[in-house]
Amino acid sequence: MSEIQIILPDNSVRTFDHEPTALEVAASIGARLAKDTLGAKINGQTEVIDFRVPLKNGTKLQLITTKSPEALDVIRHSAAHLMAQAVQEIWPEVKVTIGPVIENGFYYDFDSSFNFTEEHFEKIEKKMEELQKKDLPLTRENWPIAKAIDVFKSMNERFKVELIQGLADKGETEVGIYHQAQWFDLCRGPHVQSTGQIKAFKLMSVAGAYWRGDEKNPMLQRVYATAFLDKKELEQHLVQLEEAKKRDHRKLGKELGLFMFHEFAPASPFFTGRGTIVYNELTKYIRELYFKFDYQEVITPQVFNVELFKKSGHYQNYKDNMYFTFQDEQENGLKPMNCPSHCLLFDSSKHSYRELPLRMADFGRLHRYEKSGSLHGLSRVRTFCQDDAHIFCTLDQLKTEIASFIDLLNTIYNTLGMPNYKIKLATRPEKRMGSDEVWDQSEGALASALTELNIPFEILPGEGAFYGPKLEMHFIDAIGRSWQTGTVQVDYVMPESFNLLYTGEDNKEHRPVMLHRAVLGSLERFISVYLEHTAGHLPPWLSPTQVVILNVTDRVNDFCEQIEKEMKLDHLRVEFDRRSEKLNYKIREAQLKKIPFMIIIGDKEASLKSVSIRLSSGVLHNDISWDSARKIILQNIKERKLQAEITQAETPLT
């Protein structure tokens, strides 16, 4: 064999007399690097391959080590195998199925005659620790399909046999088998070098799951677990989970009386009067910015003849997530998105290049069928509203519009105390409309715009919408979790489908580019994220009750009622707690309701026409004239401050 050259990221070349593995390349550089190697990326691809795979001549190689962002997925994948091995060493009769990596961990589905409990978890973790300490090497073999089927049949592993037969039906001729000691599993990899590299893991929970998600198939037990690079990271994760339980929006929503659900309307939230205040204040703020950023708000129907969705591509690509109804001998659909109706509006009149960009916003209600297993409070519902808009512009205006969108997004996120977010570019999915040339153009436009704006971004391969690529805003909340919120998508396909045109400066007809964009996304989902981010401590301008008046004695009720009346004239959301309870009890109640301002009035305050203000943070400010207090509270609301605050200069009674 002639020389095999492998090209490293710095364009240096390593030469071998055979097709080397990534681990061999790492070893040629240094023993330490080889010890830390967990996988590789080749030829600019995003997929991590196993370091055991032989590399062809001219391969461009990027090593994945314990310090790489991708390392955690490799470790968790191997931890799934470690857990499956532990289960079968303790209970050989249990059958294994699949064990993929998921967000924040992994799971493995088992076919077991008994239900796993906390006691079983302890035994499994103990066995996993034993296997980890043995530092068992993981080795890979490629087996012919026929051999793999025979071996797993002999073991009565019928789920593995079904998987292998499925691969054979797709034309595969061999499969990957990974060994750790005597135990082995069907897998494509990648995996760590040895079990000793799996440093920290914990079993989390168990749930039922049908084989391949089909209720006609056997019910399996899905054991969820997680793994980290070291025990410190695992402990931090467990602490975060405990904090997340306290911040669960479903718990907070109930405590604060914001929303509810009912079996008569599955996954369709009811917002109470208090919750509707939060909802409306958000839309009110967005509408103010729409005026500043030159958007026109429109109202469009909810039900359309399905021919509209066939034209837009939703019927072909999104039908399983839609609701349908039959009237007047025709099939109709509830809209899952606003974009088709906005195309109809654009097409209802002629447009000149002078009118572009045309920014069309819509708070219309949308309906999407989500499978019951994916539903979760407000974060995944079947009816919702988005701060949705579509921008029709020329190709030359594309980058400017993306910059304007980022400006709008930063304005809103900073007001809400959400400056920490990452941008990800989601590229073409397998199921899509439009030619590769159109997708090249769309993806290139987004990447180019971000590069020119000097905004860093990551790539999400295959995660784009069926009609175009998109930028996703992933907000990092107060306890370090990532949430996808805003998005902007480039679409050349829908303007083509609807034959949308404008008259250019050359007096000829041209096709506009369409941008789909949302800053908060679904308001329902955003409220769930924001409640958890703030732990329910909403800014004063968003709080259902902004001020509560607490009397020390009934003798001051006249003054309390006077200031309550004045605050209502100022359109402040105020309550007067006139119950005959001790002051400390009423303060505690107000704190549990997370009310930003507590105005406390006793005999002294009533006589001096002053107040004491206790903030939700627990800070108390005494002897503030009522006129000053009123101005302070109004200023907090007007400026949309993130939390109730009083500057020292404002506090003394004059």
Catalytic residue of the set 77, 81, 140, 516: 516
Catalytic residue of the set 50, 73, 185, 388: 388
> Three-state SS for 153?
helix
Nearest of 394, 395, 392, 491 to residue 434 by alpha carbon: 491
Strand partners, 106: 101, 225
Nearest of 345, 79, 83 to residue 196 by alpha carbon: 79
Contact 194, 100 (CB under 8 A): no
Catalytic residue of the set 470, 525, 593, 621: 470
Nearest of 475, 104, 53, 492 to residue 313 by alpha carbon: 492
Catalytic residue of the set 52, 77, 390, 630: 390
388 is catalytic: yes
Catalytic residue of the set 368, 517, 586, 630: 368
> Three-state SS for 467?
coil
368 is catalytic: yes
* Placement of tokens 């304005």 in the chain: 411
560 is catalytic: no
Whole-angstrom Cα distance, residue 561 to residue 652?
23
Contact 61, 7 (CB under 8 A): yes
Catalytic residue of the set 339, 343, 393, 560: 339
170 is catalytic: no
- Report the 10 Å Cβ neighbour count for 440: 12
Three-class secondary structure assignment of 190-256: CCCCEHHHCCEEEEEEEEEEEHHHCCCCCEEEEEEEEEECCHHHHHHHHHHHHHHHHHCHHHHHHHH
Per-residue tokens: 41:
């990326």
386 is catalytic: yes
Whole-angstrom Cα distance, residue 116 to residue 207?
9
- Report the 10 Å Cβ neighbour count for 232: 11
Nearest of 76, 185, 89, 197 to residue 139 by alpha carbon: 185
Catalytic amino acids? Answer: 339, 368, 386, 388, 390, 470, 516
